[in-house]
Structure 1
Amino acid sequence: MFHRRWLWLAAFLGALWALLWQAPASWLSAVVWRASGQHLLLAQAQGTWRDGSALLVLEGGAGSRGATALPGMLHWTIGLSQLWRGELRARIDWPTVSPQALQVDARLGLSQSAVALRPAGDGPDAPWQGALPLAVLEGLGTPWNTVALQGQAQFTLRGLHLESVAGRTRLGGQIQIDLPDVASRLSVVAPIGSYTLSITGQGADAQVSLRSSKGPLLLEGKGAWNGQALQFLGTGRATPGNEAAMANLLSLLGRREGDHVQIAL
């Protein structure tokens, strides 16, 4: 009788493992949705959670009706060969965003976890580059659907890694987002400018900087992200002769002080 019970238990565990092994990609969609604060959804998910594809949708969060589908299907594969060591490796292919596949290395622990991103097959400091239309930000709701930005966001990730220790997240490496020739529905002048946003991990804090390279709307600022909150101070101003055309945008950015507005996050 005892031997038979062990056989039944082994059969049950085997069936459970087989079920989990072939679990549908929609299971992963639920995980991503919760982990992103209800901002990212894997729609039209196909395949399994280990080897699947989906359309990534950007949402405004709980209670929001806005949603924007990002271009093209992304495909992922998750390797479990090092799971016994608490490590996972995933590969993400998203050809409409980048010709480079993205490799994600994760180390899981009870008190400390880490995630590193790099181009698949390259070294940890090799840059990964991609681009997305700014119009997808409208899915986040206000104020993005009011500003209605147009143009391309060009991403460069270099040596990017995240660590979570005792509930606090630290960022290492660099993220650079180039925004050339940005336009907005609130401005009859197009483009309103070209900008670069840089995020660089430095110890406990990540340094954030924004600068303009050209255009009638000049934006500059610096800040820091400590893993829990962002602090950012900057200024926005219109170039001479464009004050009236930039007035609506500047009023959304911050409090007016003389010929500029103060931006505080």
Structure 2
Amino acid sequence: MQLLLIEDDATIARELALRWQARGWLVRTCGTLAQADVAVGEAGADLIVLDLQLPDGDGLAWLGRLRRRDRQTPVLVLTARDQVADRVDGLQQGADDYLIKPFAPEELDARMQALQRRSGIVGGAGAQYGPLVWLEEEGCAFLNGQPLDLLPREFEVLGLLVRRSPRLVPKRALADALAERNLEVGDSAVEVYISRLRRRLAGSGVAIRTVRGFGYRLALEDGAGGGTEEQP
């Protein structure tokens, strides 16, 4: 699971990041809303943990802006605001859960895992989106029960798309993910792999959609035409 923690208390941020990294989760921490905007734009997240009192603004206002363009990424608000009206406001602004400080780390982990299950985030060695199954440890993928013949870099790109589906995956995040595997590629190479994957998925009902200026996402539809562009 790839997490984005937006928290300006350095001690809390460090302790939570270490705790979650020990569980095998990928963690990116931000101390301001401006940093959070950059993080979301660059790589997105499977789940966001959001403090509300940030140095450069109100976390609830930021959440409202996020929800206008992203209604799917789970957000757990972690805050000292403990009034009923605060909790109601947070949930109405688009939070999926609300936990008050001080908190027990075990409860926070349990709530995050519940959001993970509820949103369909697949942890571990595999992921599925519709008829498309991607198995990391086995190094293979299946479409409608039939194996896909993929080159290693195509396999990595497809895996990131499936694991994040149906959320948007920025082009830069695809290049960075390949770089983590010692596969140095640029944006133009990512476009080549996307084009190849579209040909392999053609007619399957699974399409790779381009969101102009942002990146790519998987979509399910009949007679999918994979090259269609979408407005952000």
Structure 1 length normalisation: TM-score? 0.24
Structure number with higher relative contact order (C-alpha < 8 Å, ≥ 6 residues apart): 2
Query: Of the two, which has the highest radius of gyration?
Result: 1
More helix by share: 2
